[in-house]
């Protein structure tokens, strides 16, 4: 198909390119819909922890699904290259599907499974479909940051053929299903990924038939060149220089962690270096390089080039380095399960640097970075096992023009679920879920509010609680004169505090309060407009007392 009257083969004019690319994205979106609508994993559903990607015969990305989250951006092509090292490309047959969950090859923890399948058209290998999704279970300790090595965290699957020419490799199946608690759900989700890839392959064949394109590499090349050019223009518009920032975090018990970030802008290139960052620790908050890279480049794009559609080319002008053996580039067999507790903080580190180059483009640190999650599991009165995550977020950091959004996560994007649905699935009563007054960092623009959630255990037997949180001792700092938001607190009615990164037991009748952190403020609070302060007080976002103390309000 030639769209325009003057189009020559492989000469991608701006119309054909737009049309081809929108079709390819629509293929990955259709593939993603097949995955997410049948997923058992609540993380896939509420937290969009999945991606479907179409890659050309070289393994370069052509298109990714629209709603996929940044942690998976650009990682699949890297995983595919690791797969080629184990299983040479020549030995991939039609109908094959290769699987792995190796944290270093893929997205940083065992619960994410990545699959890739070759797509043949008219007998020739033309593309690869890939998908990554979070499983409900992968064995091991499940939902804990307290492991010391990755071995404790579950089953590690090296790249192996999961399907051979369309038929399940039963040995691999048996190994996986023999290691998980909810075998049928895991089987269901693995096949959801397989179906997603089949949709992708089928639709790509139609695309190739319709367009007459035989080789996709020139198309991916043209798309990536354009995305690359847009990002380079955005970087070139920033003042050259070297900028530094430091982010401190709770880490694990005595291992407090520190992220040192150095951003170098030179013409149309940006280099980000994490030299000086804490060494890896024997607990599950180490963040593999793939994840470090993804959470470094994503916030840069949000700040300086938010409108260009993304593809792999978007990040060619950026390089990211982290010392081997650090929490941002740990050596095997480091424990990595809760790598987001470290990785989500990188946005703050990046914006700390970028604020010096382009203060109007960044936001203060977020209360929802990292996410605060709590999982409740046990047995209900009828004897059914339950396992429910309470989804809620802290407040976003404020920007130059906007207050931070309350109860909204960044850099990840987590949905809230429904309390009524939560209570229908577990013997738990939620007594409160409301915005947390005075938790947003004061500033000319106020940080977003965190929230308070109060949950009572209504089972007959003790249940297990797993908390994964940070920012207990290190609230989200403000920026350019803004104040920090309120810290996280997880506390029982009797005043005791469960471990924020480990497993504990709750008794029937226990009442747990989770206080989600507020976002940092932006600019001097004394410069906030009195009418805006008055409105905050009227609506109870800020107490009159705090308004007087922090903003100098006289109302």
Partner 1 sequence: MSARVRVGVDVGGTFTDFVLVDEARDLIFTGKRLTTSRDPSDAIIAGTERLLREAGRAIVELDSVVHGTTLVTNAVIERKGAKVGLVTTQGFRDILEMGNETRYDLYDLALERPAAIVPRHLRHEVSERINAGGERLLPLDEAGLRQVARALARDRIEAIAVCFMHAYRNPVHERRAREILNEELPGIPVSISAEIAPEIREYERTSTTCANAFVQPLMQRYLGRLADRLGGMGHKGTIYLMLSAGGITTVRAAREAPIQLIESGPAAGAMAAAYYGGLTETPGLISFDMGGTTAKMCLVEGGQPARAHALEAGRIRRFKKGSGLPLKLPVVDLIEIGAGGGSQAWIDAMGLLKVGPHSAGAEPGPVCYGRGGTKPTVTDADLLLGYLSPDYFLGGEMQLDRQAVERAIDEQIAQPLGMSVLDAAIGIHSVVNENMAQATRMYIAEKGKDPRRFAMMAFGGAGPVHAYGLAQILKVSRIICPFGAGVTSALGFLVAPPAIDLVRSYVTHLDSVDWAAVAKLYAEMEREARALIAETGADPAAITIRRSADMRYVGQGFDVDVELPDGIYTRPSATDFQQRFFATYRRLFDRWVDGVPVEVTSWRLSASAPAPTVSLNFGGHSAPTGAARKGERPVWFARTGLGPCAVYDRYGLAPGASFAGPAVVEERESTVVAGPDTRVTVDAHRNLIIDIG
Binding to partner 1 (CB under 8 A) within 348-377 occurs at 361-363
Burial of 114 (0-12, 13-18, 19+ CB in 10 A): buried
Shortest separation between residue 196's beta carbon and partner 1, angstroms: 10
Shortest separation between residue 201's beta carbon and partner 1, angstroms: 14
> Do 340 and 469 meet the contact criterion of CB atoms below 8 Å apart?
no
> Do 447 and 551 meet the contact criterion of CB atoms below 8 Å apart?
no
> Do 87 and 52 meet the contact criterion of CB atoms below 8 Å apart?
no
> Of residues 58, 141, 195, 532, which one binds partner 1 by CB under 8 A?
195
Residues 472-491 within binding reach of partner 1 (CB under 8 A):
none
Gap between the Cα atoms of 291 and 385, Å rounded: 33
> Do 343 and 292 meet the contact criterion of CB atoms below 8 Å apart?
yes
**CA 54 from chain center: how many Å?**
20
Residues 117-146 within binding reach of partner 1 (CB under 8 A):
136
Binding status of residue 446 toward partner 1 by CB under 8 A: no
Nearer to partner 1, 93 or 229 (CB): 229
Shortest separation between residue 25's beta carbon and partner 1, angstroms: 8
Name the CA radius of gyration of the chain, rounded.
24
Binding status of residue 309 toward partner 1 by CB under 8 A: yes
Binding status of residue 230 toward partner 1 by CB under 8 A: yes
> Of residues 104, 207, 274, 541, which one binds partner 1 by CB under 8 A?
541
Residues 69-98 within binding reach of partner 1 (CB under 8 A):
69-70
Nearest to 68 by CA among 143, 130, 111: 130
Pairing type for strands 373-379 and 318-321 reads: unpaired
Q: How many CB atoms lie within 10 A of CB 262?
A: 17
Report CA-CA distances (Å) from 268 to 240, 354, 550.
9, 15, 41
Report CA-CA distances (Å) from 529 to 39, 176, 310, 481, 537.
47, 59, 37, 16, 13
Gap between the Cα atoms of 429 and 397, Å rounded: 30
Shortest separation between residue 415's beta carbon and partner 1, angstroms: 5
> Of residues 318, 407, 547, 550, which one binds partner 1 by CB under 8 A?
407
Three-state secondary structure readout of 487-516: CCEEEECCCCCCCCCCEEEECCCCEEEEEC
Shortest separation between residue 475's beta carbon and partner 1, angstroms: 20
Per CB under 8 A, which region of 9-17, 102-110, 322-330, 520-528 contacts partner 1?
9-17
> Of residues 28, 34, 74, 500, which one binds partner 1 by CB under 8 A?
34
Per CB under 8 A, which region of 97-105, 161-169, 315-323, 414-422 contacts partner 1?
414-422
Edge-to-edge strands, sheet with 451-457? 428-435, 451-457, 511-515, 489-492
Shortest separation between residue 496's beta carbon and partner 1, angstroms: 22
Binding status of residue 14 toward partner 1 by CB under 8 A: yes
Binding status of residue 10 toward partner 1 by CB under 8 A: no
Nearer to partner 1, 121 or 187 (CB): 187
Residues 286-305 within binding reach of partner 1 (CB under 8 A):
301-303, 305
Nearer to partner 1, 158 or 540 (CB): 540
Binding status of residue 402 toward partner 1 by CB under 8 A: yes
Shortest separation between residue 255's beta carbon and partner 1, angstroms: 30
Binding status of residue 544 toward partner 1 by CB under 8 A: no
> Of residues 168, 218, 323, 415, which one binds partner 1 by CB under 8 A?
415
């Amino acid at each position: 198909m030639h769209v325009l009257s003057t189009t020559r083969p492989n000469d991608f004019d701006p119309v054909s390119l737009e049309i081809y690319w929108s079709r390819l994205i629509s293929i990955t979106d259709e593939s993603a819909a097949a995955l997410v609508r049948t997923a058992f994993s609540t993380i896939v559903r509420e937290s969009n922890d999945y991606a479907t990607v179409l890659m050309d015969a070289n393994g370069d990305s052509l298109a990714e699904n629209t709603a996929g989250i940044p942690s998976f951006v650009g990682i699949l092509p890297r995983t595919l290259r690791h797969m080629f090292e184990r299983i040479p490309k020549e030995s991939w047959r039609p109908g094959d599907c290769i699987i792995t969950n190796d944290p270093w090859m893929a997205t940083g923890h065992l619960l994410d499974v990545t699959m890739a399948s070759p797509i043949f058209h008219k007998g020739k290998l033309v593309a690869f479909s890939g998908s990554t999704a979070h499983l409900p279970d992968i064995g091991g300790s499940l939902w804990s940051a307290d492991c010391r090595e990755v071995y404790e965290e579950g089953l590690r699957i090296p790249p192996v053929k999961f399907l051979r020419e369309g038929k399940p490799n039963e040995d691999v199946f048996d190994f996986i299903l023999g290691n998980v608690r909810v075998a049928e759900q895991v089987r269901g989700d693995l096949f959801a990924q397989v179906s997603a890839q089949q949709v992708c392959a089928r639709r790509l064949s139609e695309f190739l038939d319709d367009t007459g394109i035989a080789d996709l590499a020139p198309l991916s090349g043209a798309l990536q060149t354009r995305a690359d050019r847009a990002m380079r223009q955005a970087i070139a518009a920033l003042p050259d220089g070297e900028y530094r920032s430091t982010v401190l975090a709770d880490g694990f018990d005595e291992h407090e962690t520190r992220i040192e970030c150095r951003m170098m802008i030179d013409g149309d290139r940006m280099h980000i270096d994490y030299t000086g960052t804490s060494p890896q620790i024997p607990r599950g908050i180490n963040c593999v390089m793939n994840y470090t890279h993804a959470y470094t480049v994503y916030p840069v794009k949000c700040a300086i080039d938010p409108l260009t559609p993304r593809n792999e080319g978007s990040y060619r002008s950026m390089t990211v380095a982290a010392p081997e053996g650090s929490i941002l580039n740990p050596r095997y067999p480091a424990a990595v399960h809760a790598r987001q507790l470290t990785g989500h903080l990188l946005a703050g580190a990046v914006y700390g640097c970028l604020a010096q180059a382009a203060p109007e483009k960044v936001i203060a640190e977020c209360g929802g970075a990292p996410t605060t999650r709590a999982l409740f599991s046990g047995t209900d009165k009828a004897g059914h096992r339950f396992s429910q995550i309470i989804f809620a977020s802290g407040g976003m950091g404020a920007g130059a023009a906007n207050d931070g959004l309350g109860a909204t996560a960044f850099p990840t994007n987590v949905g809230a679920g429904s309390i009524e649905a939560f209570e229908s699935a577990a013997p738990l009563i939620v007594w409160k879920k409301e915005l947390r007054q005075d938790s947003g960092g004061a500033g000319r623009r106020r940080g977003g509010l965190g929230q308070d959630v109060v949950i009572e255990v209504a089972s007959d037997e003790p249940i297990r609680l797993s908390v994964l949180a940070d920012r207990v001792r290190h609230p989200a700092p403000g920026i350019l004169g803004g104040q920090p938001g309120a810290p996280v607190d997880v506390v029982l009615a009797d005043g005791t505090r469960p471990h924020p990164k480990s497993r504990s037991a709750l008794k029937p009748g226990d009442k747990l309060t989770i206080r989600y952190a507020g976002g940092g403020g932006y600019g001097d609070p004394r410069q906030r407009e009195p009418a805006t302060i008055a409105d905050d007080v009227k609506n109870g976002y800020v107490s009159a007392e705090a308004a007087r103390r922090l903003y100098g309000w006289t109302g």
